[in-house]
Amino acid sequence: MAKLPQINQINTSNTTINLSSTWGIRSTYHFLSIVLIFLVISIFYFNQYDGSKPLPPSSSSPPPSKNNDFVKEMVHKCDYFSGKWVFDNVSHPLYKEKECSFMADQLACERYGRKDLNYQYWRWQPNHCDLLRFNATTLLEKLRNKRLMFVGDSLNRNQWISMMCMVESAIPHSPKSMQMNGSLFTYKAIEYNATIEFYWAPLLVESNSDDPINHRVHERIARTQAIEKHARYWTDADFLIFDSYLWWRVPFMKVLWGNFESSDGIYKDVEMLKGYEMTLQTWSDWLEIHVNHSKTQIFWMSMSPTHERSEEWGGASGLNCYNETQPIKKKDYWGSGSDPNMMRLVEASIDNLRKRGLNIQLLNITQLSEYRKDAHLSIYRKQWKPQKEEQLSNPSGYADCFHWCLPGVPDTWNEILYTYIVSSL
């Protein structure tokens, strides 16, 4: 990870200046003037540097020199979600896969055989501004004695693991812990008393897919009016980051009125968008009542796109993200893996919550992620079941074009999230 260079310390305690030597007083003043000029230039440099451009690594990374008002103004003015991907093998990747002790086998593409690593070196460049350079110690200071929690499905878990790797790269030897309590996974940076958590709730509301390990359920059932089972774990979080998308990609969702323990519940197949809207209403109502409006900052991560139809970006028909090694160059590309109707429902819910006094921000990472057909897991992950011979003969048939290799695209999501968090009060 790129870090700010340090000002060299000048130690003159053991230096004796002989005023009666041939250098004389004038040379002494000349020497001191050079030192003074050097210090003035260094101070000016740090006051001007905004932390947004990559610099060579150094041993430590001080917090950004700009004050909080400047960062807040920058966030207000900048559209971080419109831009382009720039190949940058100097400042990226932000960490190394092998050095992250929390890397999951499902996301470790290099470990599972991917040779082309260019997917790690693309940096997102907004059109008219720069992303604030990620600084793990600054984030941890912001999170001191606080809770940051990701809530949602495996894409949110993808982002959570990315965040832990980004943070650990700056504090590799600091004491830390990891705990699992049902659907709640908690990483704690002990020195800061800061937690970065993930809560598994793929449909947000209660469902028959709520087990974080054994949740491969073909017929999903949601209790669209029941959320307390999950939400009681979210109440005291200082930062909440939600997502829910992939598990809704079915024409109809089976909805239960009643509970799973009773036999007298009413089951009904509901058109997906209607079920999604019902769930967002339940989620919104809970947030309005139970979340501290002055304390908790809420984010919604928009849809993480899938890349399952290569003909949409000019590839051969019948293929997907398998063997793709370059981003999509087409401007404003939008594939069938993202649903605008679902996005509009989320936007409406967020607008309504803002009117009700909640501090909530939509982070629209969909468009920038649409370009990255090259960065999915494809076949480079741990396979929970050995692939049969006929499957191995057709790799695109079992390629994962939903989730993302790490380091990779979710790191950019976290860079954007980081900018909003450090700009908060």
Q: Residues 300-338: pLDDT tens digits?
A: 999 999 999 999 999 999 999 999 999 999 999 999 999
Measured in whole angstroms, the distance separating CA 201 from the mean position of its chain's CA atoms is: 17
pLDDT (average), residues 95-116: 96
Q: Which of 205-209, 215-219, 250-254, 346-350 has the lowest mean pLDDT?
A: 215-219
| Three-class DSSP category at 157 | helix
**Shortest CA distance to 420 belongs to which of 333, 300, 329, 248?**
300
pLDDT (average), residues 358-375: 97
pLDDT score of 216 = 73
Helix (H) / strand (E) element for 6: namely: none
Q: Which residue has the tokens 């997917």?
A: 119
* Structure confidence at residue 201 as a pLDDT band (50, 70, 90): very high
Pick the more confident residue, 24 or 419. 419
Measured from the Cβ of residue 28, the count of other Cβ atoms closer than 10 Å reads 14
pLDDT (average), residues 65-82: 70
Rg, the chain, Cα only? 25
* Structure confidence at residue 35 as a pLDDT band (50, 70, 90): very low
* Structure confidence at residue 70 as a pLDDT band (50, 70, 90): low
Say if strands 122-126 and 83-87 run parallel, antiparallel, or are unpaired.
Answer: antiparallel
pLDDT score of 68 = 59
Strand-by-strand arrangement of the 252-257 sheet: 206-207, 221-223, 252-257, 266-271
What is the C-alpha to C-alpha distance for residues 410 and 162, in angstroms, rounded to an integer? 6
Name the token pair of 331.
Answer: 């401007």
pLDDT score of 67 = 54
pLDDT score of 63 = 47
For residues 276-296, one letter each, b for 16 or more C-beta atoms within 10 angstroms of the residue's C-beta and e for the rest, the string is: bbbbbebbbebbeeebeeeeb
pLDDT score of 42 = 42
Tell whether the model's pLDDT for residue 66 goes beyond 90: no
pLDDT (average), residues 348-364: 96
What is the C-alpha to C-alpha distance for residues 105 and 158, in angstroms, rounded to an integer? 11
Tell whether the model's pLDDT for residue 6 goes beyond 90: no
pLDDT (average), residues 87-99: 96
Helix axes 409-422, 68-77, angle to 10 degrees: 120
pLDDT (average), residues 206-225: 91
Q: pLDDT, tens digit, for every residue of 379-423?
A: 999 987 787 887 788 899 999 999 999 999 999 999 999 999 998
Name the token pair of 241.
Answer: 């980051």
Tell whether the model's pLDDT for residue 103 goes beyond 80: yes
Say if strands 83-87 and 206-207 run parallel, antiparallel, or are unpaired.
Answer: unpaired
pTM score, whole prediction: 0.83
pLDDT (average), residues 252-272: 94
Pick the more confident residue, 79 or 13. 79
| Three-class DSSP category at 44 | helix
pLDDT > 70: what percent of the chain?
82
Measured in whole angstroms, the distance separating CA 167 from the mean position of its chain's CA atoms is: 12
Active-site residues, by number, are: 154, 400, 403
pLDDT score of 59 = 32
pLDDT score of 74 = 64
pLDDT score of 69 = 60
Averaged pLDDT score across all residues of the chain = 85
Tell whether the model's pLDDT for residue 199 goes beyond 50: yes
**Shortest CA distance to 121 belongs to which of 411, 419, 369?**
411
pLDDT (average), residues 7-24: 34
What is the C-alpha to C-alpha distance for residues 112 and 380, in angstroms, rounded to an integer? 5
Pick the more confident residue, 424 or 189. 189
Helix axes 272-290, 340-355, angle to 10 degrees: 20
pLDDT (average), residues 250-264: 93
DSSP state of 23: S
Positive or negative torsion for Cα 172, 174, 177, 183? negative
Q: Which residue has the tokens 């950019």?
A: 412
pLDDT (average), residues 34-49: 41
The answer to whether the beta carbons of residues 251 and 271 sit under 8 Å apart is: yes
Residue type, 20: S
pLDDT (average), residues 77-86: 94
